[in-house]
Amino acid sequence: MNPTRSAQLRRAAAALALCLAAPALAAVQERGQIPDRYRWNLADLFPSTPAWAEAERALERRLPGLGAHRGHLGDSAAALLAGLDAVFGFERDLQRVSVYASSLSDEDTRAAGPREMKQAADLLQTRFAAATSYLRPELQALGARRVRAFLSREPRLAPYRFFVEDALRWKPHTRSPAEERIAAEAGVLEDAGAAAYGILKDADLPYPTVRLSTGEEVRLDNAAFTLHRASRVRADRERVFRAFFGAFAGYERTMGATLYAQVQAHLFDARVHRFGSALEAALFPGDLPPEVYRQLLRDVRRSLPALHRYLKLRQRMLGVSQLEYQDLYVPLVPEARLSYTPEQARAVTLEALAPLGKGYVEALRAGFESRWTDYLPSPGKRTGAYSTGVYGVHPYQLLNFNGTYEDLSTLAHESGHSMHTWLADAAQPFPTSEYPLFVAEVASTLNENLLVHHLLERAGDDGTRLFLLGASLESLRTTLFRQALLAEFELRVHEQVEQGETLTGEGLSALYLKLLREYYGHDQGICRVDELFGVEWAYVPHLYYGFYVYQYATSMVASTALARAIRAEAARGGTSRRDRYLEMLRAGGSRYPLDLLAAAGVDLRSSAPFDAAIDEMNATMDEMERILAARRGRVR
């Protein structure tokens, strides 16, 4: 996973002042106690679960009819159109059924009924994939010349052109129709590891309770961990980290087994489709060369001195003799106690995104007002945050909002995803509405960039300014360096299994600890990483997605360059870079990702955008050090 325009500086300053004074949100409530205004409105998908059940049964009845087009796509252009209309029409309706079921289940992962609905939708997805597995092989068998003749002869095939051309590109990695059907049928097993992990982590894991220095007892589920790891009391951070990751360590072996199962599923798919590696298989759908992934890891490794400079600055500002891994999330500046209600966070987000234009801002405002977003944590609710969408309806976004600056940033982030979905759906036909994963995090991280610069422009004191600059550095640390670390871990894990090695929870923790210590300069004394925190990999659900996390880093590289250009141009009253960016969002999946970004003005085939992001990181540290030096001078 934007904006609402308010150009008045006074309003922005007032919003910031409100945030500084706003109280933190109350303790976690049961879902039934949460007001509707803080809950998404799934009735826009289906008015009730019986209505959903009827739609699911209707899809079940339609499913066998998809096979009627098998062997007839080449009869004529009209026959090809009929077959594609049937397949994509079914997929569009299935999307609504699937999103409703998964969203309802995410409201309370403990509830059996919604979980069964989600499983039914997942099974229908698998059966749909099997029933349409003939599509790509049959198009390839017809041959490019014949298929392209159909495309030129029948204008109504235009929405399917990109899909058809992409299907032809897949020919070296497509098996016979019978083999593709077997592979598709096996899809029901593909996410078994991720499903078991999700239930264990979100519903069954016995999260520990700790007593903080205030005397408060806190149950450390994922949302509470995110909140309390930022405590200004170092002893509390120590308690929180040790208790939380100690709970994961107790299930290290089980979670190792679930991740191993997921990696095996990735390798099965890669081997079935004749890819040289799981990495190659994961990148091929976006027409991305594996070199893009490996180049990112090289760029990050050679830029570790910038990370280490930041860690030394953090140590100095916190006033600790030895920086510890559990010191990384505490705000650098105690004076800036930014907290927000959801309403305040929405207002600030809309103001910050004004450089993207009034149309963008007003569309997001309307989304906020029509309950796109599920804000507050509750027992059993899926952890983390995400945005999803349903073509012809609107996006939905899930948060676990505690009222911190990080939660404000998450709202801006997920709103970027939602507006990307909204713009692409409005501009594209369904077959090209879904944007590639490689650009998925550009819109979200660009919004974060605009947010922090918006607040910096309005910060009235050094404490708030230092806090925001520190938050910007943290965003670069977690999105560039932490995600690259996870990407390197993920690559090594897959390569181990490809070489015939097995995975155990203990081995995964040892590998992760090694990378943590290399990245964070443990042996150089820059940041000490306790052995217990090697189990942190078990906390990261994205490792089950199959080479997803690296795209956070590449997207931030791209979005940093784009945001800088948009901000600079907006200051001069121009809009051309903004307009090119918005056109990229509207393009959805009508082009491959590197081409989409190039059209917006960023070339990720080179290291130049990455180096520009590191330049911004160093410039941020330069400004912080100037403020700190001036403060020291005033004290003297």
For the chain, list the domains and their CATH numbers.
45-173 (1.20.140.70)
Q: What per-residue string of b and e applies to 234-252 under the rule 16 or more CB within 10 Å gives b?
A: eebbebbbbbbbebbbebb
The residues near 386 (Cβ < 8 Å, ≥ 6 apart) are 1, 397, 398, 414, 417
Token pair listed for 227: 């909140």
pLDDT of residue 192: 86
| Contact (CB, 8 A) for 442 and 551 | no
Query: What is the Cα–Cα distance from 401 to 629, expressed in whole angstroms?
Result: 35
Query: What is the Cα–Cα distance from 570 to 576, expressed in whole angstroms?
Result: 9
pLDDT of residue 406: 87
Length of the chain (residues): 636
pLDDT of residue 9: 26
What pTM was estimated for this model as a whole? 0.81
pLDDT of residue 615: 92
Strand, helix or coil for residue 132: coil
Query: What is the Cα–Cα distance from 153 to 76, expressed in whole angstroms?
Result: 10
| Contact (CB, 8 A) for 440 and 416 | no
Please identify which of the residues 180, 414, 474, 490 carries the catalytic annotation: 414
Q: Across-strand partners of 398?
A: 374, 386
Query: What is the Cα–Cα distance from 235 to 213, expressed in whole angstroms?
Result: 8
Rounded to the nearest angstrom, the gap between the alpha carbon of residue 106 and the centroid of all alpha carbons in its chain is: 16
pLDDT of residue 59: 97
Averages of pLDDT over runs of 10 residues in the chain (636 residues) are 28 30 54 94 97 98 95 96 98 98 95 95 93 93 96 97 96 86 77 87 90 95 89 95 96 95 93 95 94 95 97 95 96 76 97 97 97 94 93 96 91 97 98 93 94 91 88 90 97 96 94 98 98 96 92 92 92 94 97 96 92 93 94 68
The DSSP secondary-structure symbol of 324 reads B
* Angle at 375 (CA atoms; ends 33, 412), nearest 5 degrees: 165
pLDDT of residue 336: 63
Instruction: Count how many Cα atoms sit within 13 Å of the Cα of residue 192 in the half-sphere of its side chain.
Output: 10
525 φ/ψ sector (left φ>0, alpha ψ -120 to 50, else beta)? left
**Residue 414 is a catalytic residue:** yes
pLDDT of residue 371: 97
The DSSP secondary-structure symbol of 376 reads -
Query: What is the Cα–Cα distance from 128 to 122, expressed in whole angstroms?
Result: 10
Token pair listed for 364: 């997001």
For 372-428, what is each residue's pLDDT tens digit? 999 999 999 998 899 999 999 999 999 999 998 889 999 999 999 999 999 999 999
For 219, phi and psi rounded to 5 degrees? -85, 120
Query: What is the Cα–Cα distance from 355 to 231, expressed in whole angstroms?
Result: 34
Burial class (CB in 10 A: 0-12, 13-18, 19+), 166: middle
pLDDT of residue 112: 95
pLDDT of residue 186: 78
